[in-house]
Chain A
């Protein structure tokens, strides 16, 4: 394989199996697409996206991890990513066709032709894209509300690739999952240092040391509106505390694919969850929320920082967001699209919340307990649609004798009870000190 590597130029858009270890630390050869090639110290590195895997697993790989024998050149019609990052490129989709499987003999002889074809293809696709744009009329800027971007940004090869290698935050090192628009000169650093409390980005440990002599923050720069045990929530106004809000967004973008930082943070509130220890209030996760949402969103972006993931903090964040909605007297829903982890977390939260209610319903007067979807929604502040989808997902809704019924099967009940035993982190509404503001009266955010 190594021999052929030098005969065949693997270009962007090529697909081939790439070696990666799975969670059980077993070798796997999932199909991957080459997104970028770089040459460092005479050694080529390939940025690969594993087809059917989330982008967060994309990585730079050495040539020896490529299965060159099964190299597939980009399909003629395929819109192939171009180096210059024009929006003409489209990411591969799982269902992308592959025209040819280049065998060893064809690769060498047909390479030139293919290469030429490739160039033509990219030109065509670019032009095609242009005409599409012009038909749209206005060059698209993302919509002004919300903080999740349309999939257009996916087309940009720049944002498709992670640009930060590693982030050091407090006692943790984080491997970013996605692109984040930190200052470009910092993207080449092996490690980007962040102040744990103000989240300022620094290029070196020395700078961080110097910064810490000047930064006296030991908690997020906002008002603490919740505290129970070591868990606290701080509310930060995106307009009043721009620097922190922006720093938080930059950090969050590393782990949120669909988040956009296109616009300023003014119309958002940021609720930062912290865990206290003797060093201060350490950020665990956060969610942002529009001050005024036209679509009943009570969460814009939500993130548990990777070191704290899968420990119940995500659910705690979600629970907190619904507690706020309860105080506001509204139902709410997270802004779409959800990420895979977001979907799982929310489903889990909704399931547990709804099941909790259903299980606790006692029958009055020997009658069968009953509840409306609206009632569930009101109690939980979960939007009606989310209640229905959860009931569907849990397969609780059934049609029996001319009416819809909710059925709690044995395994559902058992599963719920097991899950609730693990869920020890809960929001205590009594610890919440929160007065909602009517932002519409303020004119501006």
Chain B
């Protein structure tokens, strides 16, 4: 056979290869060169290493000798011989079990400390053992715990004490020793450990980092690199889709509930309309049994039914006033936290109404749920999330939302006995009043405040509790030009939005109202309407104009100063976190940061005279004030009349703006329930709507208008409610029994704000 003619076929692994022994083929030598036709298989070694001297030598030797020669082995570094102490080191006999060894899974984790004592430790141990007994194992456990607790920084002695339940002296000795040793230690830990990877990838090239975690990866086919990325993206997509589905389902559920609620409300309103229940009597009657469920139903006194309804609509916003259950509360409640998560309302859509038995003349009550039911959170759940979690168990806690809660940073004084034992309404006579009060005047602006009492409120602010009495009339003559029930601050106090103040005046004298019925309802209405004329201005009002209008209002008030004192006798102002609360007989003056609450519309007027028209007006005032306006008039938010614009800036920065301007600040608000206080004494006739509307900065254009609005024939432009109750103010409002005044003021105050009226 000619070599030249040969063309090797590929080696077929499936084809049988006959085996020839040496000598079987005489011409085998001819075939040797042919062997090259079979492609050489790679050795599987690195090219460079394959060429290494000793390997090549060994391979050659094998080729030649067919077995390894001793001298041809690849040399390796020589290790030393036996360890002579081996038998001492590894003690004991170990008998080979007959059966194959089978270990229990997880049986390997012994509780033994990983730390092993070294000779240095032994020295310490010997030293310590002169005084006490410390076994090596015990020491190792201690160091082990200390080491393992010191991930990023060394544990402190205090922590060590918690960590190790040891005798103090022993602990201190070991701890000190450990700290010293640790500082001298070159490694990151006294227990040597293989360097761990850092997740930021900085250790990717660190040779000492080993055993990195494998990121979970799908096994994909080779040569398809993007399979993995696509797979991960798909996983992510799937997760996000399923989340979307969940969210949509929740939204669907919520919207359904809202629709149902709306329908029910509409039905209620229609039924009431059919019944002619314009005063809300029927509603409240019906609602009474339900109210029992409510631990803290608070009556809201509205001037009249219409007013109530108007306000009712207004309540299409989150914050719901809370009604104070006590008719006359004279005791000091300095730090009542009025915090009630409105979650409650969603759970209790039915009306919570309480009619104070002592005020049968009060035409109407508004309950929280009533208000709250329109509180649609179209914007999402975060309101709920942010609401305080500390909702008391109202069922069991008699104090419920009014429970005493300590505030951080406040020191509480015991209530004065005279105050706590205050006389009931009407019993506080002039004598009593004079015991505590004095004739008071303010220097700036110069005004005679009347009979008042000065006290220091929390946060160091000065409070003037005015007592209104028959004397007011006479007192007014002391400084007739300046006499005004409004408060003028004479001092600047730091604004502290977190402070609550309560009016403690206990001279509740209904007399003023009754004794000064000088103005006829019609006249008052005219006044209001005049106000309306005067103050209803377009939204685009410049701040200056507003200021001016505020001043006008002030003037108006001043002008009317000659009128019934009653009108102005009750003021309750909450402003920028400052509450000016007044009892029916007194105004408590809050002097704060140069704020002057000098103008509040005469709420008595309103409350007494509000007919439907005025109610509408008031409601619209409340409702339709634009954001912008409310911003500038933020102090007016909760029924407090804003002052001149220049001063308002401060307010807005502190109080209302905080509630309104940012979502963050506005969110907490809804959590603060407002109480609709019932009126006291003469003011009982002044009822208010609750209005601590949290204002969402045009955030809820979609807020459904409550059906009640229809009744009030108020335009549907109610989507934004300017009412903002500063958180601190709300706090105090919540427990303020004089809320009605404030609330009533709401409506009035708004009149000074430029607003749209339909």
Q: Within 8 Å of chain A (Cβ to Cβ): is B416?
A: no
| Interface stretch of the complex, out of A63-71, A123-131, A340-348 | A340-348
Chain B nearest CB, measured from A233 CB (Å) = 10
Chain B nearest CB, measured from A298 CB (Å) = 14
Partner of B94, one of A202, A209, A210, A278: A278
Evaluate contact between A344 and B74: CB separation under 8 angstroms.
yes
Roughly how many angstroms separate A385 CA and B41 CA in the complex, as a whole number? 7
Residues on the B chain within 8 Å of A181, using CB:
194-195, 207-210
Evaluate contact between A343 and B43: CB separation under 8 angstroms.
yes
Evaluate contact between B76 and A177: CB separation under 8 angstroms.
yes
Partner of A144, one of B38, B48, B80, B214: B214
Chain A nearest CB, measured from B220 CB (Å) = 11
Residues on the B chain within 8 Å of A409, using CB:
22
Evaluate contact between A223 and B17: CB separation under 8 angstroms.
no
Q: Which residue of B is nearest A186, CB measured?
A: B192
**9 closest A-B pairs (Cβ-Cβ)?**
A415-B66, A389-B41, A185-B187, A261-B210, A373-B13, A175-B77, A171-B86, A370-B16, A207-B116
Q: Within 8 Å of chain A (Cβ to Cβ): is B130?
A: no
Evaluate contact between B45 and A408: CB separation under 8 angstroms.
no
Evaluate contact between A184 and B195: CB separation under 8 angstroms.
yes
| Interface stretch of the complex, out of A39-47, A102-110, A316-324, A331-339 | A331-339
Roughly how many angstroms separate A162 CA and B738 CA in the complex, as a whole number? 85
Residues on the B chain within 8 Å of A310, using CB:
73
Evaluate contact between B210 and A399: CB separation under 8 angstroms.
no
Residues on the A chain within 8 Å of B110, using CB:
214, 216
Partner of A279, one of B54, B83, B94: B94
Residues on the A chain within 8 Å of B217, using CB:
144
Evaluate contact between A405 and B18: CB separation under 8 angstroms.
yes
| Interface stretch of the complex, out of A9-17, A48-56, A72-80, A113-121 | A48-56
Within 8 A of B (CB), among A165-197: 166, 168, 170-177, 179, 181-186, 196
Q: Within 8 Å of chain B (Cβ to Cβ): is A250?
A: yes
Q: Within 8 Å of chain A (Cβ to Cβ): is B357?
A: no
Chain B nearest CB, measured from A188 CB (Å) = 8
Q: Which residue of B is nearest A444, CB measured?
A: B216
| Interface stretch of the complex, out of B28-36, B453-461, B497-505, B572-580 | B28-36
Residues on the B chain within 8 Å of A172, using CB:
79, 82-83
Evaluate contact between A372 and B38: CB separation under 8 angstroms.
no
Q: Which residue of A is nearest B41, CB measured?
A: A389
Evaluate contact between A407 and B137: CB separation under 8 angstroms.
no
Known contacts A219-B101, A341-B74, A53 near B54 by CB under 8 Å? yes
Partner of A212, one of B66, B75, B90, B119: B90
Q: Within 8 Å of chain B (Cβ to Cβ): is A100?
A: no
Roughly how many angstroms separate A419 CA and B14 CA in the complex, as a whole number? 29
Residues on the A chain within 8 Å of B40, using CB:
389, 392
Evaluate contact between A372 and B14: CB separation under 8 angstroms.
yes
Q: Within 8 Å of chain A (Cβ to Cβ): is B541?
A: no
Evaluate contact between B25 and A373: CB separation under 8 angstroms.
no
Roughly how many angstroms separate A172 CA and B59 CA in the complex, as a whole number? 30
Residues on the B chain within 8 Å of A222, using CB:
103
B74-103 vs A, Cβ < 8 Å mask (1 yes, 0 no):
111111111100100111111110001111
Q: Within 8 Å of chain B (Cβ to Cβ): is A368?
A: yes
Roughly how many angstroms separate A216 CA and B111 CA in the complex, as a whole number? 12
Roughly how many angstroms separate A53 CA and B34 CA in the complex, as a whole number? 34
Chain A nearest CB, measured from B656 CB (Å) = 55
Q: Within 8 Å of chain B (Cβ to Cβ): is A87?
A: yes
Known contacts A264-B212, A278-B93, A339 near B45 by CB under 8 Å? yes
Contact size range, B: 35 or more
15 contacts between A and B (CB under 8 A): A144-B214, A182-B192, A206-B118, A212-B89, A215-B112, A219-B101, A223-B100, A224-B102, A276-B96, A340-B74, A368-B19, A384-B13, A403-B15, A405-B19, A415-B65
Roughly how many angstroms separate A341 CA and B75 CA in the complex, as a whole number? 10
Q: Which residue of A is nearest B83, CB measured?
A: A171
Q: Within 8 Å of chain B (Cβ to Cβ): is A141?
A: yes
Evaluate contact between A388 and B13: CB separation under 8 angstroms.
yes
Known contacts A339-B45, A368-B19, A52 near B53 by CB under 8 Å? yes
Known contacts A401-B1, A419-B67, A223 near B103 by CB under 8 Å? yes
Known: A176-B77, A338-B45, A341-B74; 16 extra A-B contacts, CB below 8 A, are A94-B48, A184-B195, A210-B136, A223-B100, A224-B102, A246-B194, A264-B214, A278-B94, A294-B219, A334-B44, A337-B49, A370-B16, A386-B41, A388-B41, A405-B19, A413-B21
Roughly how many angstroms separate A397 CA and B36 CA in the complex, as a whole number? 10
Chain B nearest CB, measured from A76 CB (Å) = 22
Q: Within 8 Å of chain B (Cβ to Cβ): is A241?
A: yes
Q: Within 8 Å of chain A (Cβ to Cβ): is B113?
A: yes
Q: Within 8 Å of chain A (Cβ to Cβ): is B199?
A: no
Evaluate contact between A179 and B80: CB separation under 8 angstroms.
no
Evaluate contact between A218 and B19: CB separation under 8 angstroms.
no
Residues on the B chain within 8 Å of A203, using CB:
118, 192
Q: Within 8 Å of chain B (Cβ to Cβ): is A296?
A: no
Roughly how many angstroms separate A120 CA and B51 CA in the complex, as a whole number? 31
Count residues on chain A whose CB falls below 8 Å from chain B CBs.
142
Known contacts A407-B20, A408-B20, A141 near B204 by CB under 8 Å? yes
Roughly how many angstroms separate A355 CA and B92 CA in the complex, as a whole number? 45
Residues on the B chain within 8 Å of A179, using CB:
207
Evaluate contact between A209 and B13: CB separation under 8 angstroms.
no
Evaluate contact between B94 and A397: CB separation under 8 angstroms.
no
Evaluate contact between B208 and A184: CB separation under 8 angstroms.
yes
Roughly how many angstroms separate A344 CA and B28 CA in the complex, as a whole number? 28
Partner of B22, one of A241, A392, A400, A413: A413
Q: Within 8 Å of chain B (Cβ to Cβ): is A361?
A: yes
Q: Which residue of A is nearest B1, CB measured?
A: A401
Roughly how many angstroms separate A388 CA and B113 CA in the complex, as a whole number? 53
Evaluate contact between B17 and A373: CB separation under 8 angstroms.
yes
Residues on the A chain within 8 Å of B14, using CB:
372-374
Roughly how many angstroms separate A384 CA and B48 CA in the complex, as a whole number? 25
Residues on the B chain within 8 Å of A216, using CB:
110
Known contacts A201-B192, A240-B105, A400-B31, A262 near B210 by CB under 8 Å? yes
Roughly how many angstroms separate A388 CA and B73 CA in the complex, as a whole number? 25
Evaluate contact between B20 and A406: CB separation under 8 angstroms.
yes
Q: Which residue of A is nearest B65, CB measured?
A: A415
Q: Within 8 Å of chain B (Cβ to Cβ): is A366?
A: no
Evaluate contact between B19 and A371: CB separation under 8 angstroms.
yes
Q: Within 8 Å of chain A (Cβ to Cβ): is B413?
A: no
Q: Which residue of A is nearest B105, CB measured?
A: A240
Q: Within 8 Å of chain A (Cβ to Cβ): is B6?
A: yes
Known contacts A170-B86, A204-B119, A279-B90, A370 near B103 by CB under 8 Å? no
Evaluate contact between B20 and A280: CB separation under 8 angstroms.
no
Roughly how many angstroms separate A85 CA and B211 CA in the complex, as a whole number? 21
Q: Within 8 Å of chain A (Cβ to Cβ): is B288?
A: no
Evaluate contact between B205 and A87: CB separation under 8 angstroms.
yes
Q: Which residue of A is nearest B212, CB measured?
A: A263
Residues on the B chain within 8 Å of A309, using CB:
76
Evaluate contact between B22 and A407: CB separation under 8 angstroms.
yes
Chain A nearest CB, measured from B265 CB (Å) = 55
Known contacts A372-B14, A412-B66, A234 near B82 by CB under 8 Å? no
Q: Within 8 Å of chain B (Cβ to Cβ): is A208?
A: yes
Chain B nearest CB, measured from A424 CB (Å) = 15
Q: Within 8 Å of chain A (Cβ to Cβ): is B55?
A: yes
Q: Within 8 Å of chain A (Cβ to Cβ): is B151?
A: no
Chain B nearest CB, measured from A115 CB (Å) = 27
Partner of B31, one of A175, A182, A213, A398: A398
Partner of B192, one of A185, A261, A280, A408: A185
Q: Within 8 Å of chain A (Cβ to Cβ): is B185?
A: yes
Evaluate contact between B78 and A175: CB separation under 8 angstroms.
yes
Evaluate contact between B41 and A266: CB separation under 8 angstroms.
no
Q: Which residue of B is nearest A174, CB measured?
A: B79
Chain B nearest CB, measured from A114 CB (Å) = 27
Residues on the A chain within 8 Å of B219, using CB:
294
Roughly how many angstroms separate A168 CA and B80 CA in the complex, as a whole number? 10
Roughly how many angstroms separate A206 CA and B121 CA in the complex, as a whole number? 10
Evaluate contact between B211 and A261: CB separation under 8 angstroms.
yes
Q: Within 8 Å of chain B (Cβ to Cβ): is A410?
A: yes
Known contacts A144-B214, A279-B90, A374-B14, A398 near B116 by CB under 8 Å? no
